[in-house]
Amino acid sequence: MQKRKKVNRWSMHYIRLVAIAALVGLSAGIFGGCAGTGEAKKEAESAQPQSQPQDAVSPEARQKYDEALKAMRNGDADKAKDMLLALSEAHPDLSGPYTNLGLIYFRQGDTDKAEAAFLQAIKVNPKSAVSYNHLGIISRGKGKFQEAEAQYQQALKIDDNYAYAHLNIGILYDLYLGQLDKALAHYQKFQKLSPEKDPEVEKWIVDLQRRIKSGN
């Protein structure tokens, strides 16, 4: 019974992550991925390439980046991918093209390329919380739970208001590491940060509180 509950919960969560990944790609600011509609402004500001003034980015590069995001928004992943690859080659010091390439590969199920893109993004910009969050998802999928924990923690160290990183690490603690108190705290933080409480996560909170109280 417990095993079925675990599979169902992860299946629902995986569907949500795919939707989140799409939202992240579409809402990205200039040369930076973003975590979602409510966090778009903050992420766009915090994900700028470090030690490089914004006005140092050419208008032509900005225009091409906007066109790539438009292609993502229109569902033309191949066109967006080609444009982002060209941008990453022309501007290897910018993290946004790598982050969004990672999101495209992630949504296409090519986790190896997604991982490589996210790793390059954090090499260029160590404050890319979005990249760390998705690296955590990839590590979790490979069964590398300690690595996933470290990557989620890094995402939250960069931005403790990153709601989806709280949700992801909560699920990791709940289903894979058996650290129920930590899982509960992160689920509650996710709910607090979300514009509206997620009814499914609210059920998880109630269930965890019951399990913690009963010692199960």
| Percent of residues, the chain, with pLDDT higher than 70 | 73
State the DSSP code for 196: S
State the angle between helix axes of 180-193 and 163-171 in degrees (0 to 180), rounded to the nearest 10: 160
Tokens representing residue 142 in the block: 């490979």
Strand partners, 29: 32
Residue that has been written with the tokens 């470090």 in this structure: 50
Mean pLDDT confidence for 123-136: 92
Tell me how far apart the alpha carbons of residues 94 and 89 are, in angstroms, rounded to a whole number: 10
Cβ contact 151:138 at 8 Å: no
- The superfamily (CATH) of domain 2-47+56-214 is Tetratricopeptide repeat domain (1.25.40.10)
pLDDT at 209 over 80: yes
pLDDT of residue 58: 78
| Percent of residues, the chain, with pLDDT higher than 90 | 50
The string of pLDDT tens digits covering residues 82-103 is: 999 999 999 898 888 999 999 9
pLDDT bucket at 73, cuts 50 / 70 / 90? confident
pLDDT at 185 over 90: yes
Helical H segments across the chain, by residue range: 2-26, 40-46, 59-73, 77-90, 96-108, 111-124, 129-141, 145-158, 163-171, 180-193, 199-214
Tell me how far apart the alpha carbons of residues 47 and 120 are, in angstroms, rounded to a whole number: 14
pTM over 0.85: no
pLDDT of residue 12: 45
Could you count the other beta carbons within 10 Å of the beta carbon of residue 176?
16
pLDDT of residue 56: 55
pLDDT of residue 140: 92
pLDDT bucket at 139, cuts 50 / 70 / 90? very high
pLDDT bucket at 165, cuts 50 / 70 / 90? very high
Tokens representing residue 21 in the block: 């990944």
pLDDT at 14 over 50: no
Tell me how far apart the alpha carbons of residues 33 and 48 are, in angstroms, rounded to a whole number: 9
pLDDT bucket at 40, cuts 50 / 70 / 90? very low
pLDDT of residue 191: 93
Residue that has been written with the tokens 């992550």 in this structure: 17
